[in-house]
A and B are shown apart, each in its own frame.
Chain A
Amino acid sequence: MSDEINVTVNGVPHVARKGQLVIEAAADAGEYIPRFCYHERMSSVGKCRMCLVECDTGRGPAVTVSCMATVAPDMKIDTQSPTVKRMQEGVLELLLANHPLDCPVCDKGGECPLQDQAFSHGPGESRFVEEKRHFEKPIPISDLVFLDRERCILCDRCTRFADEVAGDPLIHFTSRGNSTHIATFPDEPFASYFSGNTVQICPVGALTAKPYRFKARPWDLQQEESTCTTCSVGCRVVVQSSRDEVLRYMGVDSEPVNHGWLCDRGRFSFEATKSAERVLQPLVREGDALAPAAWNVALAEAARLIGEAKAAAGAGSIAVLGGARGTNEDAFAWARLAHEVIGTTNVYAQMGDGLPVGLLGLDRATIDDAANAATVVLLSPDIKEELPVLYLRLRAAAEQRRTKIIELTPKRTGMTPYAWRHVGYQPGTQVAAVDGLLADADVAAQLATGPVVVVAGRANLAESTATTVQALRRLLDAVPGATVLPAFRRGNVVGALQVGMRPGKGGLDTRGTLQAAADGKIECLVLVGSDPLADFPDHSLATRALAGARRIIAVDTFLSASAAKADVVLAASAFAEKAGTHTNLEGRVTSLARKVTPAGVNRADWMIAAELALELGSDLGYGTVEDITADIAAKVDGYAAATPAAIAADSDGVLTAVPGAIDPMNHVEAVIGERNAYDFRLVVSRVLYDQAEGTAHSPSLAHLARGSAVHLHPLDLDRVTSTAGARVKVSTASASVVFTAVADDSVLRGTAWVPFNQPGPNVGELIDCFAAVTDVRIENV
């Protein structure tokens, strides 16, 4: 093959790849070349000089920077010559010259590349007796990260990450020469959604994460590989714990998924697992209060409520909502319990905030497909806010000029600066936006240049899904061969939907269920890790539904607003407390590890389902999680390859097939009314930090939620009020809410944007989930 290049590494012949870096070729040949600045996922800068080796291409051995030089035919790579040893010792001695050597009190001690390589390649002693560089000890550079400039070896990893990978160059080298250091600009912290990655890649203890500082020593940590379930990207992580307490997540470099990166929300939400506010045992309602109860009591009570409901008004009066927060196994056990044992068809894993389940029936793209497509069309929410690591992957694709991004969104997003075309549309006009786009000759030509992937999701919670679905259809019909990456957001929602947490024939979806409950037609509402009061966009309907449902059973890790209204609360174990599998948005099934003992007497959702089934007189037949994983592989459409053995064998997991059982989304007609005195059209969408359970109960993240406010284009804001930060009344025909008004030029003129599920006034009050769009009036108060 023309791609092969013959080299020798320390005299041993080796076949390298054309264009391969010497440092990588040597690694393939079993020679680890020490390094600090080099990182496989970022461009090489060759600054630390640790990786110097000698290479001979016929003109004698030359000092070569192995992280920048590529292999050449017949190159003799020498990683052990006396000169190389001398250089390595020299560089290490120089790096240590100004290093404080405060290893005993440094978080990195024990897992520090500087410490390790000083032992393996260093001179063994330091002769530096001068005074070292001094800086003020750790300074916060963001809410989550501290910087100790004395420890920093200026490897440019954090700064390169911020610039190249995250696109947030808010930390930078400052000053020159021996006083060079990393700095943020005064009053402009490193407020990147991805800041935690810098802590992970820092080769010394210069960057530390607030949630982990002084918590443990690396040798006390135990770890298991797992999957982050904070959103549906499903980044691979290792969960590290000490003394049965989760202390840290680290990103794992999964080639098809996250390339080692995590977002801060995912990385630090482990704190919720050990939160003191967890529900620690089952609760049963006694009058106005929920009282602790033994499992057998609580399960019997739950079974009784279900039986009663069934007897009173049939299985159709029972509904099960949720499943997206758990594992595939949890969802499958609950789906079977609902469909087979209880006999209801009213089952749904979505909280009225995504596109219809039919999205999963379309020809599906993987993340890699998208990151390598000629064109990606984003008919989706702001993926930087909702699917952060997918944003990183697509941003990289755009920055490396592999992919052109066409964005159709109701406001400017984190991706807009990287988009080749950005089309902002008024809610309800997606179809016209797509038509306009397709009529553009440049766009048509671009769409014809190669693979096209459409990332499709719900961009606006104050609008029905109909127009988006219609626009998506239009797009897919116009671009034959285009595939779809479903931008479902919630952790395991794709898994839950695929394994069965979706309506059976004639069954109600969430909106239908809540409407029925509000109408007094639901005898028993089962909430499996779901919280309609927080998550269902139409807050009024959710409130009426929870009041109208005669009985409520909640399975939850926390006493959420909805669970607090339940008659029985079944205490569930959380992430890292249970094993199982997860399906990400591309249909990839990966493993979840149990790393710590569940809090209290809590049990996994699947176990609760199995026991409840027994109470109801049926045996699901499961003794272990693997039983369910195997059963899913055997029974669930598309999951045949996802056997326990296959999943365990590959850290990157198993890609499932597109389920034939899910009907692809079809054309729907949407009717949008005329605008009238309500002259702003409302856009409501999520931002990374909100009041979601895992975030709100992680102390490091909880205060990052920005708070509820109405954002208007600066020119529109001028029309409404003259004072910045003024309070304004936002009204629909039936409700009004007072917000602070904020000028925001990412908002389209004529629209008003409010972030969802934030502390402060509840925008859900304004949303009517049956309305096509939400038009509001805004007045100064």
Chain B
Amino acid sequence: MATYPWAAGYVDDGDRPKIVTARFEHEDSYTITRYHATEGYAGLKAALTRTPGEVHDEVRGATVLGRGGAGFPAGTKWGLMPPEKYPRYLVVNGDESEPGTYKDRLLMERDPHQLIEGCLIAAYAAGLSQVFLYIRGEMPLAHERVATALNEAYAAGYVGKNILGTDFSVDIILHWGAGAYVVGEETALIESLEGKRGEPRLKPPYFPAAIGLYGQPTIVNNVETLSNLPWLLRNGVAAYTAIGTETSPGTRMVAVSGHVARPGVFEIVNGTTTFRDLLFGDEFCQGIRDGNSLKAFVPGGGSAPWFTPEQLDVPFEGRVAGAAGSMLGSGAVMVMDDTTDIPTAALTLTRFYAHESCGQCTPCREGGTWLMRVLERVVEGQGTRADLDQLLEIGESICPGKFPHAANSALGLEATPFPYKMTTICFVGPSAYAPVHSALTHFRDEFEARVADTPARRQIPVTAVH
């Protein structure tokens, strides 16, 4: 087992295949020298010996699932662009801000050339004329590492005009954000890159593959997704699909945080690894801290409905997690042990999404804040029983109908599978509700213990004018 001071959080333990984190063991993994010494740019060279169509087929054949949250296969996504419509752009989603998620920053800080090579392979295969690498603003180190790598790559002839002497030419433009979670949503990312407020666009009609940046076909891919491509091109489809399962091949990076004995970022085998492996396995988190017991966990980023110990055997396989009442999202697991104050934990997440609402659509702007306010009251002991029902009713205005949740045999509940209906433009609104709904579904008693039967006299403070 190893951890590396230069890659805080990354845990390299056990004998698993490594696709994207193989170089993390080297302190200088971000330099072009180390990259060259470790098969760097061999994937690009391999790609350039084939036609773009062949490279695209390879990515399609490997079923490289999107690692940004939605899990949509990259090769298929590229194929959704209207034929013969140019120019097409690639926007790299390096805005990583989903609560619990910690992997793209590591990939950008530790292996920027791998990402650049991935961008080049994508641009070559899908006929993308210009690449924008959008890095979250609050990650200056990632920015510096990627900027340095790009400067090196331009100098070495990997990026820019006539790459490696071929007629393949593409610029990669480093762009950075300025702090807004919602910009991670792909259409908001595009708006932001156009210099506007990062407000998600309504889909349809604005599927970026058809109408994206400047109204042109645009591929938005996550940093980790693209970082898979050099390995794939070097080792081929068979090697890639030999790892994981048929529907979830390869590996994926997962960050496990919260009350585990050894929190960390792991590159795990897709499809087969279960949450039990991850939380309790020796090569992973080694159980709950201080010998406590597991109360609940968020399986796929702050937006995901919660799982309880009953779902520990769910594997990292999208369909299975969906049927069990949640999602895998962005590879972020947050673990709560039995000391956790559930209402406060739920409030923390709801506050996050309320704060990060872009504000353009009514249910999210008003509903998210309202949920937060009521929850705050409840947590402070100022709430009433009626408030608990009201939380669910406000949630219904955001997500009418059944909201997904996990099975709970103690409560006699069966799982309600993904997805849900929503009245909002994007998933931020429902995300504000997800923790409230999960917490109230599984731990209502903790809320009831906090509230009075009759309404407390509430102070309505007078606050300053904006």
Contact = CB atoms under 8 A, between A and B. Distances in A.
B351 to A, nearest CB: 11
A178 B357 contact: yes
Contact of B362 (A91, A129, A173): A91
Contacts of A149: 466
Contact of A154 (B355, B359, B458, B462): B359
Nearest to A86: B400
B357 A154 contact: no
Contacts of A47: 360-362, 425
Interface string B412-451: 0000000001111100000000000000000000000000
A331 to B, nearest CB: 50
Contact of B423 (A49, A133, A173): A49
B461 A131 contact: yes
Interface stretch (A93-101, A200-208, A586-594): A93-101
Nearest to B377: A130
A83 B466 contact: no
Nearest to A68: B202
B381 interface: no
Contacts of B202: 45-46, 65, 68
B271 to A, nearest CB: 27
B373 A91 contact: no
Contacts of A89: 397
A153 B362 contact: yes
A618 interface: no
B53 interface: no
B466 A97 contact: no
Contacts of A98: 366
B17 interface: no
A177 B358 CA distance: 5
A52 interface: yes
Interface in A106-137: 127-131, 133-136
A195 to B, nearest CB: 22
A90 B354 contact: no
Range class of the A interface residue count: 35 or more
A156 interface: yes
A135 B359 contact: no
A176 B358 contact: yes
A63 interface: yes
Range class of the B interface residue count: 35 or more
A181 interface: yes
B362 A94 contact: yes
Contacts of A614: none
B14 interface: no
Contacts of B366: 94-95, 97-98, 178
Contacts of A175: 359
A176 B358 CA distance: 5
Interface in A74-106: 83, 86-87, 89-91, 93-95, 97-98
Interface string A497-509: 0000000000000
Interface in A35-62: 45-50, 52
Nearest to A69: B204
Contact of B463 (A65, A95, A131, A179): A131
Contacts of A95: 362, 366
Contacts of A46: 202, 361, 425
B61 to A, nearest CB: 28
Interface string B347-379: 000000011111111110111111001100000
B463 A134 contact: yes
A178 B421 contact: no
Nearest to A172: B197
A177 B363 contact: no
A95 to B, nearest CB: 6
B95 interface: no
Q: Which DSSP category, helix, strand, loop or mixed, fits chain B's interface? A: loop
B151 interface: no
A180 interface: yes
Contacts of A86: 396-397, 400
B460 interface: yes
A576 B204 CA distance: 47
Contacts of B460: 129-131
A89 B355 CA distance: 24
A48 B424 CA distance: 9
B398 to A, nearest CB: 8
A136 to B, nearest CB: 5
A94 B463 CA distance: 21
B369 A178 contact: yes
A135 B397 contact: no
A156 B356 CA distance: 19
A95 B374 CA distance: 17
A49 B202 CA distance: 11
B461 A128 contact: no
Nearest to A52: B423
Interface in B148-206: 180, 197, 202, 204-205
Contacts of A45: 202, 360
A177 B354 contact: yes
Given A94-B363, A177-B357, A177-B358, A130 B401 contact: no
Contact of A129 (B355, B363, B365, B458): B458
A128 B372 CA distance: 12
Contact of A91 (B205, B368, B374, B423): B423
B465 interface: yes
B400 A177 contact: no
Contacts of A173: 197, 359-360
Contact of A156 (B205, B360, B370, B463): B360
Nearest to A62: B421
B137 to A, nearest CB: 14
A149 B465 CA distance: 11
A180 B365 contact: yes
Of the candidates B180, B394, B463, the one having the most CB atoms from chain A within 10 angstroms of its own CB is: B394
Contacts of B465: 134-136
Contacts of B340: none
Nearest to B398: A90
B390 interface: yes
A492 B342 CA distance: 74
A506 B246 CA distance: 95
Contact of B370 (A50, A97, A135): A97
A400 to B, nearest CB: 13
Q: Which 3 A-B pairs have the closest CB atoms?
A: A90-B397, A180-B359, A94-B366
Given A45-B360, A86-B396, A154-B362, 13 more contacts: A47-B425, A48-B361, A63-B400, A90-B367, A91-B362, A91-B397, A94-B363, A133-B466, A154-B360, A176-B357, A176-B358, A179-B359, A180-B358
28 contacts: A46-B425, A49-B425, A63-B423, A90-B363, A90-B367, A90-B396, A94-B363, A94-B367, A94-B394, A95-B362, A97-B366, A97-B370, A130-B370, A130-B373, A130-B460, A149-B466, A154-B360, A173-B359, A175-B359, A176-B358, A177-B354, A177-B355, A177-B356, A177-B357, A177-B365, A177-B368, A178-B368, A178-B369
Interface of A: 45-50, 52, 63, 65, 68-69, 83, 86-87, 89-91, 93-95, 97-98, 127-131, 133-136, 149, 153-154, 156, 173, 175-181
